[in-house]
Chain A
Amino acid sequence: MPDESTQRDISADQVPTIANGYRLQFESAQDTWVLLYPEGMVKLNPSAAEILKLVDGELSVKQIVTGLETTFETTGLTNDVHAFLSIAHEQHWIKLS
């Protein structure tokens, strides 16, 4: 995505929430996590799903990164998480406060 708005920075202290009308759900028939919204659906790959599962309106971006790094016993996820959340924001899947 060349659009410069996708580069829009997300700060570590912001708290993302799943946008009104969107719902994250596991679909066993498709064996995948999906994000449902009015008359549509996005299939999520596993890492996108892991990030969105932590988007609960309480955890900050930084806490989400820490949470994932702990769960998956790794480091350096900050850029990936920021990049994904900025796409998610761009697509109106999440709101940031």
Chain B
Amino acid sequence: MSGLGTYSPGDSLLHRLPAGAKLLLLVAAALATHWLDRPWRVAVALLLTGVLYAAARIPPALLVAQVRPLWWLAVVLGAFQWWANGWRTAADVVGVLALLVLLAALVTLTTRTTAMVDTVVRLCRPLRHVGVEPERIGLLLALGIRSVPVMIGLARQVREAQLARGLGTSPTAFAVPLVVRSLRHADALGEALAARGVDD
């Protein structure tokens, strides 16, 4: 596992900026991509993003790790756009996609989950009037983030067991135990949450 989507400790300006402000800026940037309709503008925006990463002292390898999972999507999307609308549009679309992912990743890399969760809880506070518990949403968010590596670990274990038993690549031999293990994990997690006083 790379450092994909996890907090990268530091004390740069970006690290110290409140989570709410960063989320707001992210939304603003997403809206602003509307004006990125020429390849050179996209290039400038990507360059600026690179500068932001440098300012946050994120090592270049970690920057690359954020966009690597996108590689195939970018190739397919780019090829299609090139064929349909020419290379300019292709460059625009792929560039903006990478830009958005990089910016979103920059927010996660420089913000502790707790800070993010607190902000979401605050934003959801008005929903209390319609019966939504903001604390629950926050917890759900944290658990979701925590569950990604756990699920990847479970999948790897199932895969290894499958290979060890010579079951080849049968999808059922993979899916069934994975679902069973996930449910068992969810049970255990629920129990642990209760033990740690979540329902009290």
Q: Please indicate whether A and B come from the same complex rather than being unrelated chains.
A: no
Binding site for B on A (CB under 8 A): none
